[in-house]
Amino acid sequence: MVDNSKGFHIVNNVIMVLLSACCVLPFVLLLISSLTEESVLIRNGYSFFPESFSLDAYRYIFSGTSKIIKGYGITIFISLVGTVTGILMTLLLAYPLSRKGLPGKNVISFFIFFTMLFNGGLVPSYMIWSNVFHIRDTIWALLFPNLLMNAFNIFMMRNYLNANIPEEIIEAARIDGAGEWHILFRVVFPMSVPMIATLSLMVGLGYWNDWQNGLYYIIGRTDLYSIQNILNRMLQDAQFLASGQAGSNASSMAASLPSVGIKMAIAVVGILPVLAIYPLIQKYLVKGIAIGAVKG
């Protein structure tokens, strides 16, 4: 090699280490702050090297307050139900479009594609979901609007089926007397597991991280808040914990509430599951991002 190879590799590694640090250190600050004693936080602010540690914030979160636990439950519920339903509907819509000779296939494909070009935006969506379907302040509000399925995923699925399910296999199953539903679930489904897994990750992450549906549609029923909605609400209203959880003796509680550290502790609780499973799903996630970029 002509250039100074060794020097280049050192510099390159230093740059990548710095970049990686930029991506990770904010989370470290979050974690350490959540473990810092409240009085130290008030005196010195959030810091990477606090004078003393304490588990008070976590003790507070998990003791006596069911709100966080409930938020967790709701987040897990909508993530599971939303992902399973959404992916099933995506597969059901994508599979017929991948079959040859289906009359009207192009019209339906365009019907789906058009939703990527044009949309009504927040005002009409809000009015239709809340005034026509009355999902405001129900669990459906966290499940239905926007997150369930989208044109992009449908086309990813269809392209995968086009490329990976040969017509001969389906024809063979048909000759053996299998019905179309049977073929879909017994033949096509097992063969499309890689794409289903990738899309499920994307949709699941979308549900886990969503806070907008809760912001728009959950107005009064704060017991339906997902963990993200709780976080969102707390950031906007520092008194939320005191008023929402302490009840009647809110004012006396507020004084002793470790509010500075507890915010960070709840944020940690909110991201921990994602970060914990991330190493396991990293491969599929990267694959999904890479395929997504290749247009259909």
Among positions 57, 61, 74, 112, the unique one binding other proteins when judged by CB under 8 A: 112
**Least Cβ distance, residue 95 to other proteins (angstroms):** 6
At its nearest, how many Å lie between other proteins and the CB of residue 108? 7
Whole-number Å distance between alpha carbons of 12 and 7: 8
To the nearest whole angstrom, how small is the minimum distance from the Cβ of residue 148 to other proteins? 6
To the nearest whole angstrom, how small is the minimum distance from the Cβ of residue 247 to other proteins? 25
Binding-site member from 56, 96, 137, 191 for other proteins (CB under 8 A): 96
Of the residues 51, 66, 111, 243, which one makes contact with other proteins according to CB under 8 A: 111
Per-residue burial over 178-211, b if 16 or more Cβ lie within 10 Å, else e, is eeeeebbeebbeeebeebbebbbbbbbbbbbbbb
* Dihedral angle over CA of 201, 203, 208, 212, nearest 10: 150
Tokens of 245: 């959880």
Verify binding: residue 197, other proteins, rule CB under 8 A.
Answer: no
CB of 81 to other proteins, least distance (A): 14
Strand partners, 36: 53
Rounded CA-CA distance 94/148 in Å is 14
Reference 264, options 60, 86, 70; nearest CA is 60
32 alpha-carbon distance from chain centroid: 24
Structure tokens at 71: 């938020």
Binder among 58, 77, 126, 284 for other proteins (CB under 8 A): 126
Which 51-80 residues touch other proteins, going by CB under 8 A?
none
Q: How many residues line the site for other proteins (CB under 8 A)?
A: 100
Of the pair 72, 144, the CB lying nearest other proteins is at 144
Binding status of residue 113 toward other proteins by CB under 8 A = yes
Quickly count: other Cβ atoms within 10 Å of residue 251's Cβ. 10
**Among 122, 163, 169, 172, which residue interacts with other proteins (rule: CB under 8 A)?**
122
Spatial distance between the Cα atoms of 139 and 214, rounded to a whole number of angstroms? 9
41/241 with CB nearer other proteins: 41
30, 264 contact by CB (below 8 A): yes
**Cα-based distances in Å from 278 to 29, 76, 249:** 19, 16, 41
231 touches other proteins by CB under 8 A: yes
134 interacts with other proteins by CB under 8 A: no
Pick the stretch among 38-46, 53-61, 76-84, 246-254 that binds other proteins (CB under 8 A): 38-46
Strand (E) or helix (H) holding 151: helix 151-164
Asked if 200 contacts 87 with a C-beta cutoff of 8 angstroms, the reply is: yes
Q: Which stretch binds other proteins (CB under 8 A): 53-61, 110-118, 162-170, 191-199?
A: 110-118
Among 103, 190, 220, 247, binds other proteins (CB under 8 A): 103
Stretch that binds other proteins, among 61-69, 192-200, 211-219, 248-256 (CB under 8 A): 211-219
The DSSP bridge partners found for residue 53 are: 36
Choice from 3, 63, 220, 247 touching other proteins (CB under 8 A): 3
Give yes or no for residue 163 binding other proteins (CB under 8 A): no
Judged by CB under 8 A, does residue 133 bind other proteins? yes
Judged by CB under 8 A, does residue 131 bind other proteins? yes
